[in-house]
Amino acid sequence: MRILVLGFSGYLGGHVARELRALPGVRFFGAGRGPAADLAVDLATVAPGQLAERFYSFAPDAVINCAGAVGPQAVSLAEANVRGPAVLCAALREAAPAARLVHLGSAAEYGPTGIGERVTEEAAARPSTLYGATKLAGTLAVTSSGLDAVVLRVTNPVGPGAPAAGLPGRLARQLRDLGPRGVVRLGDLSAHRDFVDARDVAHAAVLAATAAGPLPPLLNIGSGRAVPVRELVHELAHAAGFGGRFEEGAEGSARSADVPWQCSDPGAARTTLGWSPRHRLADSVSALWAAVHGDPDREPVH
């Protein structure tokens, strides 16, 4: 089976690539902007026809799209999260219309939900952030493409390779640089989030790419358990042996204020793919700390 992964050198794409390389009977191809890519491409700028021409030579049986943007810039978000999936779908319709497309979406597409609610795929999507809105637009491009496609709506990934742009990766680097004592100032940590291990996300993507028969258009990928962000911080402090102090302020991200609770129901993924998370939050945080602490000079591609 020939599987091509877009964004293979990024956070989630890297975990997908590692799992595919070890999977018997799979020929893996990496696509992206890095020099190690088998297919050098930037979905934010490539034309659909140009991408289709390049796909012909790879003849993929499945494509996993892990490319995307999370930063605050509206243009970058639109190019990567909206234009990218649309161009990818257009190219696949021309060059590999029978290929399975697995696209990584986001639980941010759902927007605010009720406290205590576990959101299913049938819930209305009402994103409250620009990031969530662009991810939803990308999802619609995929689900309306007519391809054999599934969107995995991922909750909050955590684990080895977590980039410094997010709280887990940023805090791990702070604790590494600060040492066992000191003061770390953070925003409000009371929001509840559904954390899922990045390696479990990768496993879900691989299962979706290799599953026989049609799949639902949407599948939630999360732990199914919401915990205060404060719990993640304390788990990371424990893993790091940090004996200093956290000062928690009222100020925080706009999303934390707008979405105080986020939790997805992964039941459909369990039924359809036989998938369930294999790592606890403590495992994810320990692996993140080991990666950051053990290789202090390396910054992951994201």
pLDDT in tens, 175-188: 999 988 899 999 99
pTM (predicted TM-score):
0.94
Closest CA to 183 of 242, 135, 263, 231: 242
Sequence-distant (≥ 6) Cβ neighbours of residue 95 within 8 angstroms: 51, 52, 53, 55, 56
**C-alpha angle 29/35/36, rounded to 5°?**
35
Distance between CA 182 and CA 242 in Å, rounded? 8
Taking Cα atoms as reference points, which of 81, 70, 268, 283 lies closest to residue 195?
283
% of residues, the chain, pLDDT over 70: 95
The identity of residue 75, as a single letter, is V
Q: What are the tens digits of pLDDT across the range 213-243?
A: 999 999 999 999 999 999 999 999 999 999 9
pLDDT for 192 equals: 97
d(CA 263, CA 158): 15
Catalytic residues: 131
User: What is the C-alpha to C-alpha distance for residues 217 and 148, in angstroms, rounded to an integer?
Assistant: 9
Quote the pLDDT of residue 185. Answer: 94
Sheet holding 226-228, edge to edge: 156-158, 192-197, 226-228
